[in-house]
Amino acid sequence: MIERLRQTYRHLRVGPDESIVARLPAVARPIIASMPSSDRRHALVTYATLRDAGADEELVLAGLLHDMGKPREARLWHRVAAALAPDIASRLGKVARQYVAHAERGADMARDLGLSDRVIGVIARHHRAPSDSDDRRLRAAERADA
């Protein structure tokens, strides 16, 4: 939880490296481009960390898109409430509910895009306890951005 708060604060201070967007998989470009800058930066850092660690294409794509289910309207207070008290946050309105459920929403979006079951599963599980090596690698990549 503290890591997620630090991550949010850091993203508010540093802009994303936009030069990497042109090298992203085509399916991901419009999604990444539509994300708020803090989420875009986190997605790009996670992507680069997994890619540089030698992860295969599917896991790298899952890392890039793992937060695509976050609502664009989410504000800092939604993020803080979801990190500190997700059960309470989910009762604070539509945006807060969507933010708390963003892993499942992102998995649904990945399914709609026709992405693989593996990518869908990694996205769906990214806030649960890691259950396999994909989950552990994604968690490590996220922590590299904390």
pTM, whole model, 2 decimals? 0.82
Q: How does pLDDT run across 20-74, given as a tens digit for each residue? A: 677 788 899 899 989 998 899 999 999 999 999 999 999 999 999 999 999 998 8
Domain 2-144 sits in CATH 3.30.379: no
* Backbone torsions φ then ψ of 36, nearest 5 degrees: -60, 150
Q: Which residue has the higher pLDDT, 93 or 114?
A: 114
Q: How does pLDDT run across 90-111, given as a tens digit for each residue? A: 788 888 888 889 999 999 999 9
Report the alpha-carbon distance of residue 95 to residue 71 in Å, rounded: 6
Q: Name the nearest CA neighbour of 96 among 88, 108, 104.
A: 88
DSSP 3-state percent helix, strand, coil across the chain (nearest 5): 70, 0, 30
* Backbone torsions φ then ψ of 17, nearest 5 degrees: -85, 95
Question: With 0-12 CB in 10 A as exposed, 13-18 as middle and 19+ as buried, what is 118?
Answer: middle
Residue 13 has pLDDT above 50, yes or no: no
